[in-house]
Amino acid sequence: MPKKTLPETPVRGARKPVSPTLRRSRPAALPARPVAYRGDNLYLDGVSLASLARQHGTPLYVYSAQQIKDRLQLFQQAFRGRAHTVCYAVKANSSLALLRMLGEMGAGFDIVSGGELERVRKACRPALARVVFSGVGKQEWEIDAALKAGILLFNVESEAELAVLARRAKALKRRARFALRVNPDVFAETHPYISTGLREHKFGIDITLARAIYRKAARSPWLEPAGVSVHIGSQIRKVEPFAAALDRVVQLVHELRADGLDIRYIDAGGGLGIEYTGEAFDARRQVEQYAAALGRALDGVAAGSPVAAGLPEQTHLLLEPGRFIVAQAGVLLTRVLFVKQNGAKTFVVTDAAMNDLIRPALYQAHHEILPVRKRPGSKGLVADVVGPVCESGDFFARDRDLASVKAGDLLVLLDAGAYGMTQSSNYNTRVRPAEVLVQGREAQVIRRRETLRDLFGPELLA
């Protein structure tokens, strides 16, 4: 199967590969997002973004609680006819406040570190029983912590990890329930950095080797083969690759059950994509199509399925959405410092930078950029939107059509709720932003802005 290298969000109709950050964009279509203009001022749900900037400063992450709840419920409703748990991918946005809100709605959690396990414990202790632990490099202390916490499932990614899991389970006298994360060798059209389903990727175990590994593991008194897991990548907009991967998983599950193994969990992973550009996006329809595609694979009726029969009704489906739930619920609010002319080139310099939101630099990712206050009748401009960090890669957009802006104006970067704050850093000794959660007309600080004292706290002078 030929490999492709694509930007995170492929550009429709492009004659050659073009990073969407370089593409001039039409004004954002807002209905899929919680932001809207009231008159000339931009609001997130019932709260003025300008008022939040005055109260809390910039850069500032702002999230809509209602949209996050709505997105989780889309999954819960679409799969309501099938035993399932939505295990939110903590890496997308690990705010304790958001985790508590999702946990109280019945969500489980997909974690990839001992730190994320501790976040779930602090946010919603009862949800520990709904945790799946993924990741290629679990350390012994992390495995121990998860065994003691009584998590639902370890998604194991190598035979070496399985041996460590058995050893630690024996030492703690706690049987470890596990699924192998199999690699189905399914290509998904997405950025190569977030594609995970091919043989050359570091993730998972070759699906053709899995049956023998399960048979061997079943002989251990400390290992309980309970599921099969798959995850083929992130920001995938077509449902067919998910169905193709699950077809292969279902075939493996039939084989494992024929071997006498009680495989009762199928973890379909996450990766369902959103629309970052100004194109129309129907989140409900996307989830319903996804649910239908997975359902056909699980029932053995997908086109070209190698399986003649579906799985028993008691099979429990695990889903790991992250970006789809939180991305469009969040925005990054920033203030313009300068508008700089450099020959024929215009730069809009903001107080937010790549350390606050690295996605454009890392993935060539596109984020729509809007003024918080519109100036009707003013002439727009074409500019690069950049930050103060000393890197040429410190940009949010290049050659972007923007509304007219001047120093002191507020801009908002849309769809920043996923992989924004969780990938932020203190590069250039910059403090990370505060985070605010909006619920209706109320706004609550859920993470205060860092201080320089916070940054220097762990350091020691010789």
Q: What is residue 452's three-state secondary structure?
A: helix
Decide: 359 and 367 in contact? Cβ < 8 Å. Answer: yes
Q: Single out the catalytic residue among 280, 390, 461, 462.
A: 390
pLDDT of 88 reads 98
The residues that bridge with 438 in the sheet, in sequence order, are 64, 443
CA atoms within 13 A on the CB side of 88: 37
pLDDT in tens, 258-312: 999 999 999 999 999 999 998 889 999 999 999 999 999 999 865 455 554 567 7
pLDDT of 291 reads 97
Whether 369 has a pLDDT exceeding 70, the answer reads yes
Round to whole Å and give the CA distance between 370 and 119. Answer: 33
Whether 9 has a pLDDT exceeding 80, the answer reads no
The whole-number average pLDDT for the span 26-33 is 63
pLDDT of 62 reads 98
How does residue 21 score in pLDDT terms, banded at 50, 70 and 90? very low
| Residue 332 φ then ψ, to 5° | -110, 120
The whole-number average pLDDT for the span 156-168 is 97
Whether 23 has a pLDDT exceeding 70, the answer reads no
| CATH number, domain 65-322 | 3.20.20.10
Would you kindly state where each structural domain of the chain is located, as residue ranges? Answer: 20-63+328-449, 65-322
Whether 25 has a pLDDT exceeding 70, the answer reads no
Decide: 400 and 411 in contact? Cβ < 8 Å. Answer: no
- How much is the mean pLDDT over the chain? 90
Fold classified for 20-63+328-449: Lyase, Ornithine Decarboxylase; Chain A, domain 1 (2.40.37)
The whole-number average pLDDT for the span 66-95 is 97
Round to whole Å and give the CA distance between 263 and 254. Answer: 9
Round to whole Å and give the CA distance between 59 and 80. Answer: 39
Round to whole Å and give the CA distance between 304 and 251. Answer: 12
Nearest Cα residue to 40 out of 418, 410, 350, 416:
410
Q: Where does residue 381 rank: exposed (0-12), middle (13-18), buried (19+ CB within 10 A)?
A: middle
- Does the active-site annotation cover 390? yes
Residues 6+ apart with CB under 8 A from 162: 156, 178, 180, 213, 217, 223
